[in-house]
Amino acid sequence: MPATKLHMWRGILVALLIFSPLSDAAESLRDKGLEESEEILSGSIRENPGSVSLLSRRGDVRLFLGRYSEAVEDFEKMISLDPLQDAPHWRLGIAHYFAGDFRKSARQFEKYHAYDGRDRENGVWKFMAQTCSESLEAARAQMLQYPPMDREPFLELYEMFAGKKSVSDVLKQYGPKPTGGNKTVQFFAKYYAGVYTALTGKKADGLKLVKEAVALFSPDSASEPGAPGYMWQVARLHVKVIESDSSTSRGK
């Protein structure tokens, strides 16, 4: 990417972080900034059509804009250019999920598990996708297996998805107050407890929890070291997915 465009791209990304996710006007401004970023990246891709890194960045921007099928296209183009990108591409699994292609989403997370069998969050997403494409019972019967050690709160979340712990158990441990002041742990607990709650039929309660998770961070603080970063953006999108009921009413 030319230096001038790269500077513009970085400036736009920084500018996007100042807007509150709770304001309609702010969301409109953020989306405008993302659209400008997408336009810049598209111009650079026309000049460098074989750039995996540019396709990766545009795929992320399109995902954050809610243009899920286009994000899938960019991520899949990356893989066609460099097949080694396939197995570790968990972002493609998320894009498939939001695009409503839950079977492809589950398969992508299975690929990632073969690549990195220690990331239990990947197993959470595979479970979510399989619940949407098949059933809660099928997802529980085919949960990916992990070593017992894991970062908080994913061991407890996994037990919740498996039916061994309740949502209230997880929230009692992580919901009222961040463990050791760690808001990121609380974010993941509320986010995935909310998605699980929505998937099991309590949409309003689940939506409330996901919104509470997103509200723990402002866009600028979400990008700081140790903060949820990319997954905060994903949770922001998940609010809209649950509101439209797309994750519980569609499947492929």
Task: Give a three-class secondary structure readout of 77-102.
Answer: HHHHHCHHHCCCCHHHHHHHHHHCCH
- DSSP letter string, 148-163: S---TTHHHHHHHHTT
DSSP 223: T
Angle separating helix axes 230-244 and 183-199, nearest 10 degrees: 20
What string of pLDDT tens digits covers the 252 residues of the chain?
343 443 444 444 444 443 344 445 445 556 678 899 999 999 999 999 999 999 999 999 999 999 999 999 999 999 999 999 999 999 999 999 999 999 999 999 999 999 999 999 999 999 999 999 999 999 999 999 998 877 899 999 999 999 999 999 999 998 666 544 589 999 999 999 999 999 999 999 999 999 999 999 998 899 899 999 999 999 999 999 999 874 444 444
pTM of the model: 0.85
Tens of pLDDT, residues 77-110: 999 999 999 999 999 999 999 999 999 999 999 9
Secondary-structure class of domain 1-77 per CATH: mainly alpha
Query: Quick one: DSSP state of residue 20?
Result: -
